[in-house]
Every structure is written in structure tokens, then in C-alpha cells.
Amino acid sequence: MIFDDINRPAPAPDDSSPRRRRRSRRRHGDGEERRSRRRSTFESASKFSGQSRDRGDRSTAAWLSMLAVLVLAVGGFAFYLQQEKVGRTPVPGDAPSTLLLPFIDPILAPLETGTPGYEPGALDRVSAGLQAARSAANRDDSEVYSVAGTIASILQESLQDRTRHLQRMVDLGSPVIGMSAGGAPKNAAMTETQKQHLELAVGVSWQRNSVTYRNRVEELWYRLLRLEQGRFREGSASPAMVPPIPVSSPNE
């Protein structure tokens, strides 16, 4: 034993020793832990990437839905504008203002001018024609005929009121253009002064009423002119709606 060969290599360490086994298990555990950490990090990154991709897909779908809604809205608005354009194309028939204008001044004139000079029922025919045109027109054009019909109604009311005032003048024995005396005055016993006083009262009453009628007509007249712009082909009205030429001048 004393004379052992010192050049002989040392014996290989025994792997079966407890210390070596603990060190090997420690290295193996460290490797498994590192591989587990790498695997968990990869799985987390993959899961995050998948979630981001899902959110991106949902955002894209939402934008596409909004784009589709916008396209539908623009298409609907374009269709509405097209319908509005079609509704505003010129329609046959003279503008209602052209049909009503000849009646305004003769009806609302002072009583000294007498009857308007139109044949009975002329304004009624125009009013009926406007009402029929309103029933057959589209929504936009019906507003034009509605305003014109209101003006026609005011003129009819004022014409009836004017006729009543003219009849009072006839009853007083005053000459009225376009109306016959129809016999002796109802108040033949009154003096000339009383007659003049009553004539003046009738004239003032009509003057006050005619101003009210004219204000109502003018309030609607300018609105009617704005609505009529570019909608009617002049000179194409039905003959039944065209007012006749006065049979006599108001001053005759």
C-alpha cells in the first residue's frame, strides 16, 4: 500500500453517491424550471396575440357595420333629394297667383267703383279648380294650392261683404255701378243730410273691412310667390280656371 503507483489515474467519481445525485437533480430541476418558464412565457404571448387578433377582428367588423349604415344613409338621402327634384319640376297650368291676381284689386276697391265687373261665379270656379288641383298634386305642390285656396277663400269672403255694403248703398238710394236701384229707397223719409251721413258710415265700414282683407291676402301672397318659383308652365291653365275679362271697367 505504501508503494502504490502514484502515476495511476484517480478512480472515477461514483455517480451513485448521494451528493452527486443531489447535484444532478438540482441541475435537472433548474433545466425543467427554465423550460417551464419559457413555455409559460410563450403561451402567455400566444394568448395575448390571439386576444389582440380577436379584438382587431371585432373592431374591423364594427367599422364595416358603421360604413354600411353610412352608405345606406347617404343612399336614402340621395333618393330623397331625387324625389324632391322630381316634385319641383314644372307642372301644367298657370301659377295660382296668376289666376287670383285679377280678382284682388276689383274686390277690395272702394265702394265708389261698384261691382267688380266679373260674371257671377268666376271666383268660385277658380277656387274649385285650385281645390281639385291640390287633391291631385304631390306633397310639395299641394302646399302651393293650399295657400292659394286660402287666398281664394278670403277673396270670396270679402266679395260677399262688399256685396252687402253695396246693397246698403242701393237701399239708401245711392247710385251703384253695376247694380240697379230696385225700386224706391227703403228710407225715403230721411233727409239728405241723414242720407249722406249713412253713406259715409257704410263707406267707412267697408274701408275698414277691406284693409283687414287686404292685409290677410298680402300676408299669404308673398309666401305663395316663393312657393311658385320654377314650378309652373305659364299659359297652360285649364280654360275653366282662367278668370274672364271684366265686362266693364270698374270706373264706368
Alpha-carbon distance 144 to 129, whole Å? 13
**Does 13 fall in a domain?**
no
Are 113 and 178 spatial neighbours (Cβ–Cβ below 8 Å)?
Answer: no
Tell me what pLDDT residue 251 has.
40
pLDDT tens-digit map of 225-236: 998 887 776 544
Q: Is residue 3 part of a domain?
A: no
Tell me, yes or no, whether 193 and 220 share the same domain: yes
* CA dist., res. 60 & res. 54, Å (int): 10
Number of domains the chain is built from: 2
Return the residue matching grid coordinates 316634385: 87
Q: Are residues 235 and 124 in the same domain?
A: yes
* pLDDT tens-place string over residues 164-188: 999 999 988 888 888 876 655 666 6
101: containing domain: 91-241
For residue 243, which of 116, 146, 157 has the smallest C-alpha distance?
Answer: 116
- Averaged pLDDT for residues 194-217: 94
d(CA 50, CA 227): 62
Identify whether residues 212 and 117 lie together within a single domain.
yes
Query: What does the alpha-carbon distance between residue 110 and residue 177 come to, in Å, rounded to a whole number?
Result: 12
154 closest CA partner among 209, 80, 114, 232: 209
Q: Is the pTM of this model over 0.85?
A: no
Chain center to CA of 84: 10
Mean pLDDT (whole number) for 97-109 = 93
